[in-house]
Amino acid sequence: MRNYWIGKLSRSRKRLMYFLLLSGGILGAIGSYLYYGSQLSGWRLWLSVLFSTIKLYFFAPTIGLTEKYSVFYEIAKWLSPLGSLLGIVNAFGVLWHQLSYIRKSLFAKRYLVFGEGESAYRLLRNLIRENNGVGAMIAGSDCPYDRNFLIGKGIRRLSPDLSRDPSALLREELGGRGDCAVIFFGEDIENFKNMRLFHDRVLPLPGRCHMVLRSRSHLLQAMMERSIDSMKRAEISFFNMEDAVAGQLMEALCRREELFRKEAAPSEAADFEALCGAIGSLHVLILGFGRLGEAVLLAALNSLVCNPMENNHFTIADREVEKRLSELTAEYPFLGKTAELHALTADILGKDFLSLIEEADRRRRIDIVVFSLGELSDNLILMERLKELFRGRIAALRIGDPESFSAFFENFSGYYGALIPFGIESRVLNTQCVLEDQRREAAMDFNARYHALSSEIVSKEGAKESRRELWEELSLLKKDSCMSQMLHKEMKERVLLHFLPGEEKEKLLLQKLKDWERKLQSLSPSKRTEEIERDPLMCFMAALEHKRWCNFYYLKGFRYSKKKDEEARTHDCLIPDWGEFLRSDKRDTIVYDLLASLSIRE
């Protein structure tokens, strides 16, 4: 309780200071007028009142203790000095924070964020806390955060004009040194413009800097990526907050044992068709199709691919969902080849919505429900209405703050089979996700393992290059492909664990992967293909990766052609039908599909 009142007083000290100064001045003026009114008149009276009131703020009242004066002056003698004292403390506090910032900035890493919203502030605060650094918020005059408030958090608020201010002044103000990280957190076009100006006018020639651009459009990001190859003085990467949240959700979903029903597990003697029939496909219901709902769909088209012979089903519910799907299809022309999409245009919180969902569930059982509406209250209301219908199913709930949801958790206990909260900003707006890019680092590791296995099994040569060298040799498309491949490894692992018998499935999984690796190493290329086709589980895993790979290339706008041409968006392996692919002249490449499964564990 004591700390509570101390904290409250600390947060309100500025308001208290203004109150004391104003009330002390008013009461001091009234008291002085009553005292000098009987002795003076005219300008001498008003000058004396003014002089007497001002001296109260300097701890030096002009009316002595033995004099007879009103109670107003007595109160003012206490309030005015207290107000002055608080003003001095406040001024010294700001000065102390300024000096601390200057001292710390000499040694600590600097973080610059171009943006003024709440997310930009939270990101900057997290970066400073995690790395013991200092920060600067590049914002306009309409920034909602006061300069004194920010400096108390170790953040300076700056308002430079990158296009007009002299380069030398910009470098001095922004500190374009090699030990700084710059995050552009506004809109896509504004971010790209500011990044170009910062690179050309602020960064010194010998220095290097890590710059991160927040992107919201995959198409604009691809265009910007093609334009930044000439920028050599900085490491430039992109950050999409919705993609990061959706990626974390996919990872959590693929780790759930409830993803596939246990009664559907096949016997050890099952053939390829039996394995496909046993695993089935997933039906995902996405409630709310804003930016996050769209990111969840695109991530699921890669990460949730679980059957090489059948597309997953997605029912997407929201107002004007057909219009949004039409816009998405314009960006991804072959979207319909990657999944079975069902649009449900409705008022999600309306009275008729429950019957529409019941009908969709009757047509095909819904396995996963994603509550991705913007407001937590709307998601909670919808979860409450649907908890009986989706008893035992997996539910994913968008929340911003875990503490806000924890109070409601018990309402859904015993209804949903698994409840996965996602969208927690602290898990995304941090050093690992934004600056270190965990997914990129994981993709580099995955690519290195894949290349090592390819060298040992296919080319019979040991891998000689480092993981970073291997990564830098890849084109932007190949990097994206490797990233998508890495994001699917959790699903491959879940599928394998589902198929393996017994209780000690983890040991069996490792043993199975090692056996496959040894077997492939001992065979010639033609024999490898025959062995993969002959073994149902090996064939299933190769086909699964091929299915996922086709989805990736379809989303990149590729189509089949006998001639592979990255510029023309054509590929000679883009044959989604597994039987047809095995009858084609590209059948010997299935070993590369299987390598993706062998790479899921070190």
Co-location of 524 and 492 in the same domain: yes
Buried b (16+ CB within 10 A) or exposed e, 346-363: bebeeeebeebbeebbee
Residue 543 has which token pair?
């086909």
- With respect to residue 252, please indicate whether it lies within any of the assigned structural domains: yes
Co-location of 332 and 394 in the same domain: yes
- With respect to residue 248, please indicate whether it lies within any of the assigned structural domains: yes
2: confidence class by pLDDT, cuts 50, 70, 90 = very low
Co-location of 283 and 387 in the same domain: yes
**Closest C-alpha among 173, 14, 553, 100 to residue 332:** 553
Co-location of 401 and 455 in the same domain: no
**What is the pairing mode between strands 559-560 and 570-571?**
parallel
- Torsion sign across C-alpha atoms 59, 65, 68, 71: positive
pTM: 0.82
Work out the percent of the chain whose per-residue pLDDT is above 90: 33
Residue 40 has which token pair?
């003076």
SS3 assignment, position 52: helix
Co-location of 228 and 262 in the same domain: no
Residue 299 has which token pair?
């991530």
pLDDT number for residue 446:
92
Q: Which of 61, 94, 127 is the last residue of a domain?
A: 94
Return the minimum-mean-pLDDT range out of 28-42, 112-126, 225-239, 552-566: 225-239
Considering only CA atoms, give the Rg of the chain: 32
- With respect to residue 103, please indicate whether it lies within any of the assigned structural domains: no
CA distance 386 to 417: 13
SS3 assignment, position 560: strand
Co-location of 314 and 273 in the same domain: yes
Co-location of 369 and 473 in the same domain: no
Co-location of 479 and 443 in the same domain: yes
pLDDT at residue 68 tops 90: no
Co-location of 260 and 223 in the same domain: no
Q: Which of 403, 432, 461 is the last residue of a domain?
A: 432
Q: Which of 414, 432, 450 is the last residue of a domain?
A: 432
Instruction: Identify the top-confidence range among 206-215, 264-273, 440-449.
Output: 440-449
- Torsion sign across C-alpha atoms 347, 348, 349, 353: positive
**What is the pairing mode between strands 209-214 and 180-184?**
parallel
Q: What digits encode the pLDDT tens for the residues 223-250?
A: 888 777 656 556 788 899 999 999 999 9
pLDDT number for residue 426:
84
Q: What digits encode the pLDDT tens for the residues 164-186?
A: 777 776 776 666 455 678 889 98
- With respect to residue 183, please indicate whether it lies within any of the assigned structural domains: yes
Across-strand partners of 285?
315, 369
6: confidence class by pLDDT, cuts 50, 70, 90 = very low
More confident residue, 104 or 116: 116
Averaged over 78-98, what is the pLDDT? 70
pLDDT number for residue 267:
61
Matching residue, tokens 């299935």: 590
Q: Where are the beta strands (DSSP E) in 52-196?
A: 110-114, 134-138, 155-158, 180-184
**Closest C-alpha among 70, 63, 58, 26 to residue 48:** 63
Q: What digits encode the pLDDT tens for the residues 498-534?
A: 888 877 888 888 999 999 999 988 888 888 899 999 9
Co-location of 474 and 427 in the same domain: no
- With respect to residue 100, please indicate whether it lies within any of the assigned structural domains: no
pLDDT number for residue 3:
43
- With respect to residue 492, please indicate whether it lies within any of the assigned structural domains: yes
**What is the pairing mode between strands 340-345 and 418-422?**
unpaired
The total number of structural domains in the chain stands at: 4
- With respect to residue 253, please indicate whether it lies within any of the assigned structural domains: yes
- Torsion sign across C-alpha atoms 161, 164, 166, 171: positive
- What are the backbone angles phi and psi of residue 349, rounded to the nearest 5°? -95, 5
More confident residue, 11 or 486: 486
Range of the domain at 538: 437-598
pLDDT number for residue 175:
61
283: confidence class by pLDDT, cuts 50, 70, 90 = very high
Return the minimum-mean-pLDDT range out of 256-265, 405-414, 574-583: 256-265
SS3 assignment, position 465: coil
Co-location of 529 and 384 in the same domain: no
- With respect to residue 101, please indicate whether it lies within any of the assigned structural domains: no
Q: Output the domain CATH number for residue 113.
A: 3.40.50.720
Co-location of 263 and 164 in the same domain: no
Let me know: does 214 contact 186? Beta carbons within 8 Å.
Answer: yes
Give 193-258 as a DSSP string: HHHHHHHHHTS-TT--EEEEEE-S-HHHHHHHHHH-TT--SEEEEEE-HHHHHHHHHHHHHHT-GG
pLDDT at residue 305 tops 90: yes
CA distance 330 to 338: 15
